[in-house]
Homo-oligomer: A and B are copies of this chain.
Amino acid sequence: MSLPHALLGLLAVQPRSGYELTKVFEQDLGRYAWQAGHTSIYPELNRLAESGLVEVSHEGARGSRTYAVTEAGRSELRNWLLSPPRQTRVRNEPVLRMFLLSALEPADALVVLRTIAENTDASATELRKVREVDPEGPMTGAEGFGQLAAEYGLRQYEAVRDWARWAIERLERETSARPS
């Protein structure tokens, strides 16, 4: 149940409407960290408002409501982020695929590994461009969010790519050394 904290965190950086929050979850946040659709977000915002952790700071056109964290909400967020990282539920399909590679014959495994290496390398290259738009921008606030995220994603991609290359090399060496 991290969704309330995710919302609290986003609203702590700047007040937003449910619709805007939905958009954020479609970007890097939902891509790397936590995914949520508007059908989860709107009810959760109402719950948070009821508990007094957020409040409607502005009502705009088309019935839009902009939410902002309250002091209680900011305190709850800080509490959560500074508390010991509890055990976490992992559910990562790409990683699962990597784990299951051993179940394939070496030739098939190599095909998959090469695809992984290519895709992650391409993604890393793309992210590097994004990062270079403003390489020395501030790390806190709305832009800093993107900076941290971009750098994290970049390093993730590079790590997976390098792992895939390492695995390919070992697998090739092994296959040629003792062919079945």
Contact = CB atoms under 8 A, between A and B. Distances in A.
A151 B138 contact: no
Nearest to A167: B148
**What's the dominant secondary structure at chain A's contact region?**
helix
A163 B102 CA distance: 29
A148 B101 contact: yes
B78 A104 contact: yes
Q: How many copies does the complex hold?
A: 2
B174 A139 contact: yes
B99 A81 contact: no
B108 A35 contact: no
Nearest to A101: B148
A12 to B, nearest CB: 4
Interface in A134-173: 138-141, 144-145, 148-149, 151-152, 155-156, 158-160, 162-163, 166-167, 170-171
B102 A81 contact: no
